[in-house]
Amino acid sequence: MASVLVVEDDQFVRSALIRHLSEASHTVRSVGTALEALREVAHFRFDVVILDLGLPDLDGGEALKMLRSITDVPVIIATARDDESEIVRLLNDGADDYLTKPFSVEHLSARMAAVLRRSRAAGAEAPPPGVLRVGGLSIDPLRRTAELDGAGLDLTRREFDLLAFLAGRPGVVVARKELLAEVWQQSYGDDQTIDVHLSWLRRKLGETAARPRYLHTLRGVGVKLQPPPDTPGAAPLAEPSA
């Protein structure tokens, strides 16, 4: 069964979706605004998001773009709008499927099953990577767990993806453009998104930008993950060239 986030401001529709999905043995969380949805996906892992477009605080199309900046969870748009050009735009912006209201619970179940099959098949294509170790950091991409000096790290989905990507290239400076493409699956975007996630990640690693231990930013170049100089076997940090 799946973990589902329902983003719907109409209480009647929301209650009906929660009831149907729960009866189908799915785990369901629900919110009524785009801001609440962003908070949910930043702190919990979902298998699929069902997103209404007519939200009170932000249009669902903009909410979709913001969701895509922090997660690659499959998103099914559920709305009364049926304009073909808008449907194409939303699919191009990262939606995985589109349902026009009113729709039957059987139709929703079939679409969810298809999206989940594609998502799980894509995840199964790559061979399971081994545990990544950088200094006192240990990252297990298969189990999606991370530890620092033996203590578990409570990371959001995007924080884990960012840390694992950098840990797979220890000591290598990764350009922000590459981070957006590989971690956020975006060809372009705002550097502030990366900065915010780096700040959150540093806090959980017990460091700051002014006093880094693992995460090192080279201004105008990119970011690298490197073990602290006090780690046995770690190479000394090289000063960036002028």
Asked whether residue 114 falls in the same domain as residue 151, the answer is no
| 179 within domain boundaries | yes
| 85 within domain boundaries | yes
Domain interval for residue 147: 132-225
Asked whether residue 213 falls in the same domain as residue 145, the answer is yes
Asked whether residue 91 falls in the same domain as residue 7, the answer is yes
Give the count of domains, the chain. Answer: 2
Asked whether residue 112 falls in the same domain as residue 199, the answer is no
In 3D, which of 55, 50, 8, 53 has the Cα closest to residue 26?
50
Asked whether residue 72 falls in the same domain as residue 104, the answer is yes
| 207 within domain boundaries | yes
Burial 173-182 (b: 16+ CB within 10 A, else e): bbebeebbee
| 240 within domain boundaries | no
Specify the CATH number for the domain of residue 142.
1.10.10.10
| 190 within domain boundaries | yes
Show pLDDT as tens, one digit a residue, over the chain (242 residues).
789 999 999 999 999 999 999 998 899 999 999 999 998 988 888 999 999 998 999 888 888 988 887 788 899 998 888 788 888 888 888 888 888 888 888 888 888 888 888 776 655 555 456 889 999 999 998 888 999 999 999 998 889 999 999 998 888 888 888 888 888 877 666 677 888 889 999 999 999 989 999 999 988 788 999 988 766 545 443 333 33
Residues with Cβ within 8 Å of residue 242, at least 6 apart in sequence: none
Asked whether residue 119 falls in the same domain as residue 29, the answer is yes
